[in-house]
Amino acid sequence: MVTDLLGELGHEVVAAENGSEAVALCVRERPAVVVLDLLMPRLSGLDALKEMRAFGYAGPAILLTAISDSSFREMEGAEAVEIRLDKPVTRRGLERALARALATR
Partner 1 sequence: MKLSRTLLVLVTAASALPVVLLGWMLAEARGGLDAAAAIAVLSCLLLAASGAALVARSVTRPIAECVRGALEIARGRFGRQVQVSARNEIGDLAYTFNHMSRELASYDAENRRLIQALEQGYLDTIRSLASAIDAKDPYTRGHSHRVAALAVELGRELNLSPEALQSLEYGGVLHDIGKIGMPDAILSKATPLTDAERDLAKEHPRIGSEIVAGVAFLAAAAPAIRNHHERWDGAGYPDGLAGEAIPLVARIVNAADTWDACTSNRPYQKAYPVEEALAIVARLRGTQLDPAVHDALVAVVRKRQERKRARREAERLEREARDAAAAPAGDAETEPAPAPTAAGTRSG
Closest CA to 44 of 15, 28, 23: 23
H or E segment at 86? Answer: strand 83-86
Q: How many chain residues are in contact with partner 1, going by CB under 8 A?
A: 8
Asked if residue 3 binds partner 1 (CB under 8 A), the reply is no
Question: Do residues 56 and 79 make contact, with C-beta atoms less than 8 angstroms apart?
Answer: no
Name residues contacting partner 1, limited to 14-73 (CB under 8 A).
39, 41-42, 66-68, 70-71
In angstroms, rounded to a whole number, what is the distance separating the alpha carbons of residues 64 and 78? 12
CB of 25 to partner 1, least distance (A): 20
CB of 60 to partner 1, least distance (A): 25
Is the CB of 3 or the CB of 71 nearer to partner 1?
71
Which DSSP letter does residue 43 get? S
Contacts with partner 1, residue ranges (CB under 8 A): 39, 41-42, 66-68, 70-71
